Amino acid sequence: MDIFKKCDDYITADIAKEQGYYPYFHELTSKQDTEVVMEGKHVVMIGSNNYLGLTSHKDVVKASLKATKKYGSGVSGSRFLNGTLNLHVELEKQLAAFVGMEDATIFASGFQSNLGIISAIAGRNDIIFSDKENHASIYDGMKLSYAEVVRYNHNDMDDLEAKIIKTKKQLEEKNIEKGMIIITDGVFSMTGDLCDLPKIIELKKKYNVRVMVDDAHGFGVMGAKGKGTHEHFDLMKEVDIVMGTFSKSLASLGGYVASSNRVINYIRHNSRPYIFSAAIPPANTAAALAALKILKKEPERVKNLRDITNYMRQQLKAHGVDFRETNDQTPIIPIYTYLPKRTMVACNMLFERGVYVNPVLPPATPVGECLIRTSYTSTHTKKQMDKVVGIIAEVLNELKDLQE
């Protein structure tokens, strides 16, 4: 059989294009902001992860340009060899201090961060307890690690504890010792759910396991100063590993891991995705540094983000829009459309009427739970929210009887 047969047989996207409801790959022709230009249309952007509104900030742009002029467009090598800039080292120091860890190191992307962290710290003789709704990069990192993976029901701490107990009992019966770690998203990217970190830390102490939090959507969002999910719960000293990205609150591209000196030292010398990838370019590094500086100086951006998101929740409720009531601290509001075609048609109609949102379909959601993912920025205005909520309610009402 031809290995490309699966490519020839894949027609789902073709059908959506032919029928006019394909919602992906709209071309952006302006900077990322609360309002953007896509394919000649001016739309309000509520589908971005630009949580703190810093992608267009003059200081971030200026720092990026200045770094390119000084260091060039790239580093032409891995961090392990010729690709370490003083900018990289400075960013790592500042990140570690900000999130309350001894040390940190940075990767070329957030996705690569999870690949590099998990595959380095876990191996064939280890066990990972993973929330079933963890990000795809965590799943791929676990595959790359060859560790045994035990999945627990989403945010179900009773299920997690039962599986830890069962696993430990099985190991004791066989007189085997294995390293164990719980890995969870801090803020779950599709639904905006917040992990039950206090209970996870309780289980960590009770059963002597380690904890890693993927805070890609929690950094710059959670806690009074935006330090993340562990700050929100006042557990800054209890998490063993924190991972995050630059492509969201820090308005750049890249990712990081923060932990103890020994863990970071081990990752630097044993992570294949880290060792065998070129380091992030000077422009991205400088942009992330500048954004972090702004976050430290202007923590009110975190509060503004929370306020505008909660205003939108109130307006959606007032307009009778079916959305999931998640933790009111997160800037993600999932609006349920349930069926794939209805979801894609709705997103296209919203785009045509001036609102950009993200369609989320299986496997990113369970079958029958398709949703429109909306996310907000600290620089959004109530006027913009008043405009988009009316359009959302109007479109969903028109499509309420649409079946597959």
403 located within any domain: no
Domain of residue 67, CATH code: 3.40.640.10
Residue 100 CB burial class (10 angstroms; 0-12, 13-18, ≥19) = middle
4 located within any domain: no
Residue ending a domain, among 269, 297, 325, is 297
Distance CA 193, CA 52 (A): 19
217 is a catalytic site residue: yes
Q: What is the extent of the structural domain holding 292?
A: 58-297
The reply to whether 18 and 76 lie within a common domain is no
* Coil/strand/helix, residue 130: strand
Q: What is the pLDDT of residue 350?
A: 97
Measured in whole angstroms, the distance separating CA 196 from the mean position of its chain's CA atoms is: 17
51 located within any domain: no
Give all strands (DSSP E) within 197-346, no chain letters. Answer: 210-214, 241-245, 255-259, 332-338
The reply to whether 262 and 157 lie within a common domain is yes
The reply to whether 173 and 200 lie within a common domain is yes
The reply to whether 37 and 181 lie within a common domain is no
The reply to whether 315 and 303 lie within a common domain is yes
400 is a catalytic site residue: no
The answer to whether the CB of 101 falls within 8 A of the CB of 261 is no
Choose among 220, 228, 273, 227: nearest CA to 247.
Answer: 220
350 located within any domain: yes
Contacts of 25 (CB under 8 A, 6+ apart): none
Residue ending a domain, among 248, 277, 297, is 297
Choose among 115, 100, 116: nearest CA to 260.
Answer: 100
The reply to whether 290 and 304 lie within a common domain is no
Choose among 9, 12, 1: nearest CA to 362.
Answer: 12
293 located within any domain: yes
Instruction: Tell me the CA distances in angstroms from 391 to 316, 347, 352, one per residue in order.
Output: 11, 11, 10
Q: What is the pLDDT of residue 322?
A: 85
The answer to whether the CB of 36 falls within 8 A of the CB of 43 is yes
248 is a catalytic site residue: yes
Give all strands (DSSP E) within 85-227, no chain letters. Answer: 103-107, 126-131, 148-152, 179-185, 210-214
* Coil/strand/helix, residue 138: helix
Q: Computed over its alpha carbons, how large is the radius of gyration of the chain?
A: 22
pTM: 0.95
The reply to whether 217 and 303 lie within a common domain is no
Distance CA 151, CA 149 (A): 6
The reply to whether 146 and 127 lie within a common domain is yes
313 located within any domain: yes
The reply to whether 93 and 242 lie within a common domain is yes
CB atoms within 10 A of CB 398: 12
Please tell me which residue in 64, 137, 145, 189 is annotated as part of the active site. 189
Q: What is the pLDDT of residue 403?
A: 67
Please tell me which residue in 204, 230, 248, 380 is annotated as part of the active site. 248
Domain count within the chain:
2
Phi-psi map region of 155: left, alpha, beta (phi>0 left; psi -120 to 50 alpha): left
Q: Tens digit of pLDDT per residue, the chain (404 long)?
A: 999 999 999 998 999 999 988 999 999 999 999 999 999 999 999 999 999 999 999 999 999 999 999 999 999 999 999 999 999 999 999 999 999 999 999 999 999 999 999 999 999 999 999 999 999 999 999 999 999 999 999 999 999 999 999 999 999 999 999 999 999 999 999 999 999 999 999 999 999 999 999 999 999 999 999 999 999 999 999 999 999 999 999 999 999 999 999 999 999 999 999 999 999 999 999 999 999 999 999 999 999 999 999 999 999 999 999 888 777 789 999 999 999 999 999 999 999 999 999 999 988 888 888 999 999 999 999 999 999 999 999 999 998 776 66
Choose among 232, 229, 223: nearest CA to 258.
Answer: 229
Q: What is the pLDDT of residue 404?
A: 61
Residue ending a domain, among 228, 263, 297, is 297
Please tell me which residue in 57, 88, 204, 217 is annotated as part of the active site. 217
182 located within any domain: yes
Q: Could you tell me the two tokens for 54? A: 């810093």
Instruction: Tell me the CA distances in angstroms from 253 to 279, 281, 283, 333, 346, one per residue in order.
Output: 11, 9, 9, 24, 30
**Which strand ranges, in their side-by-side order, compose the sheet holding 370-375?**
332-338, 370-375, 358-360
Q: What is the pLDDT of residue 42?
A: 96
Q: What is the pLDDT of residue 230?
A: 98
40 located within any domain: yes
Q: Return the bridge partners of 113, or none.
A: none
The reply to whether 38 and 166 lie within a common domain is no
The reply to whether 221 and 335 lie within a common domain is no
The reply to whether 32 and 93 lie within a common domain is no
Distance CA 115, CA 138 (A): 7
Domain of residue 343, CATH code: 3.90.1150.10
